[in-house]
Amino acid sequence: MLSTPLAALLARRNVHYGWVVVAVTFITMLVTAAAVGAPGVLIVPLEKEFGWETEQIATAFSIRLLLFGLMGPFAAAFMNYFGVRRVVCVALILITAGLFASLAMTRIWELVLLWGVVVGFGTGLTAMVLGATVATRWFTERRGLVLGMLTASSATGQLIFMPLMASLSENYGWRTAIVLICAMLLVAVVGVFFLMRDRPSDVGLPAYGDKLVATALPVTGGLLSLITMPLLALKEASRSSTFWVLFATFFVCGASTNGLIGTHFVALCGDYGLAAVGAATVLAMMGFFDFFGTIGSGWLSDRVDNRWLLFWYYGLRGLSLLYLPYSDFSFYGLSLFAMFYGLDWIATVPPTVKLATERFGREKAGLMFGWIFAGHQLGAASAAYGGGFARTEYATYVPAFLVAGILCLIAALLVLTLSKQSKDDAVPEPAPAG
């Protein structure tokens, strides 16, 4: 295994192997996020080629986003049982197969099956839970920064590849854009297979910032236990008001990002006369600002009360969404929106994960955040369908954006209902398996 000698070589140079794992995870989340975000620039080409309505296409996309989130808790359990490397390799191959098979699709049910179910299932195995798992297992110090970097890769992957995919789709057809994503996914598979390890102890190291090598608790039970573990975690989390506040606010986060902007922004701009490549370029600008905004959010989450960070993030995002329909869609107006909104695109993730880890403990953080992230994608699926419904029924996206903006303002107030961590609020750590 290449990772063992490489870890020893880096250790002699005082470099922790955790940074290699972070790099591989960064690339993986970047590429899978591009697969999640690609359909956002393909709505119009699919409408033109097959005659499908926006609402029909949005249905497939909403299923993809919903599965992307609902798989999160089970992905955490699979990673605990089978190991991160195996789960991620299987997920990447599954996404590639679904996208490659879609090159021959001609009917709407095939779109729902391949881009909705298959890609949704595969991307769900490598959702935000992967970044949270890597950050909590490999890092004690710099955890917030690492989580910010990995979160930024996921959001940036959805946005920064869009101009390229839009250009390829416009000049060579949408299938060319899909082939490019498949090639990038296969490159990620190679990196994960040779360089990813499940825990620091696999290469004889402590987590970054620790002095002792921690031995993982053995995973007991069979397939039934594996499936019921996330459900039992949900039952336990449901007793905590903190869980429901984080779930609800993350629902709003998903509705106001992946579901609405990620899925419908290019089509929205097209309604106002802006070509797909130009609209996708604005999304890439968001990705650029998001990269620094999310890393900065990770840095701040190690130093500032995370409740107040979320208050400002949701509040400012709500104001930017209320502004967008009245921006006149000029270059200046959209650039201002891209900068303001981009800095806040997914900056909510580091403080949300930090709050979940503080309240539920390191070992449970992956499973708990998996369910919280399910709320994120439930919101995304709702907004993806809702936006398509609004455009089909009312010939405008404006109602969807106004609703999203108001929901963000409500989320900003809701997060302030969280009290500072107390022993009474925290879910107890699990007993050692034996």
Looking at residue 212, what DSSP letter applies?
Answer: S
Dihedral angle, C-alpha 10, 13, 16, 19, nearest 10 °: -70
Q: What is the Cα–Cα distance from 434 to 426, expressed in whole angstroms?
A: 24
- In the numeric block, the tokens 């190690």 are attached to 302
Identify whether the C-beta of residue 69 lies closer than 8 Å to the C-beta of residue 254. Answer: yes
Share of the chain above pLDDT 70, in %: 90
Q: Look at residue 218 in the predicted model and tell me its pLDDT.
A: 57
Between CA 279 and CA 14 the distance in angstroms is 45
Res 157: pLDDT? 67
Q: DSSP letters along 90-116, please? A: HHHHHHHHHHHHGGG--SHHHHIIIII
Spatial separation of the C-alpha atoms in residues 4 and 17, rounded to whole Å = 9
Angle at 258 between CA 303 and CA 232, to 5 degrees: 70
- Per-residue pLDDT averaged across 13-32, rounded? 89
Could you tell me the CA-to-CA distances from 262 to 3, 13, 52, 60, 100 in Å, in that order?
A: 36, 41, 20, 14, 22
Residue whose token pair is 């053995």 = 218
Average pLDDT estimate for 45-52: 85
Type of residue at 425? D
Among residues of the chain, what percentage have pLDDT more than 90? 18
- What is the sign, positive or negative, of the torsion defined by CA atoms of 45, 48, 53, 54? positive
Q: Are the C-beta atoms of 70 and 377 separated by less than 8 Å? A: yes
Q: What is the DSSP letter of 367?
A: H
Question: Phi-psi bin for 208: left (phi > 0), alpha (psi -120 to 50), beta?
Answer: beta
Cα radius of gyration (the chain): 21
- pLDDT-based confidence at 205, cuts 50/70/90? confident
Do 139 and 207 form a contact (C-beta atoms < 8 A)?
A: yes
Least trusted range by pLDDT, from 47-56, 84-93, 94-103: 47-56
What is the structure's pLDDT at 434? Answer: 35
State mean pLDDT over 127-144.
81
Q: Is the dihedral of CA 256, 258, 260, 266 positive or negative?
A: positive
Give the pLDDT confidence score for residue 94 in this predicted structure: 92
Give the domains, in start order, of the chain with CATH numbers: 3-199+224-417 (1.20.1250.20)
Provide the terminal-to-terminal Cα distance of the chain, rounded to the nearest Å: 30
User: Would the pLDDT of 252 be above 90?
Assistant: yes
Largest CA distance in the chain: 64
Q: Let me know how many helices (H) and strands (E) the chain has, helices first.
A: 20, 0
Angstrom distance (rounded) from CA 337 to CA 231: 40
Q: Distance between alpha carbon 104 and the CA centroid of its chain, in Å? A: 28
* Rounded distance between C-alpha atoms, residue 187 and residue 312, angstroms: 38
Q: Which of 34, 37, 26 is nearest to 192 (CA)?
A: 26
Q: What is the pLDDT of residue 389?
A: 86
Torsion of CA 385, 264, 271, 340, to 10 degrees: 130
CA distance 337 to 312: 16
pLDDT in tens, 381-430: 888 888 888 888 888 888 999 999 999 999 999 999 987 754 434 444 44
Does residue 13 surpass a pLDDT of 50?
yes
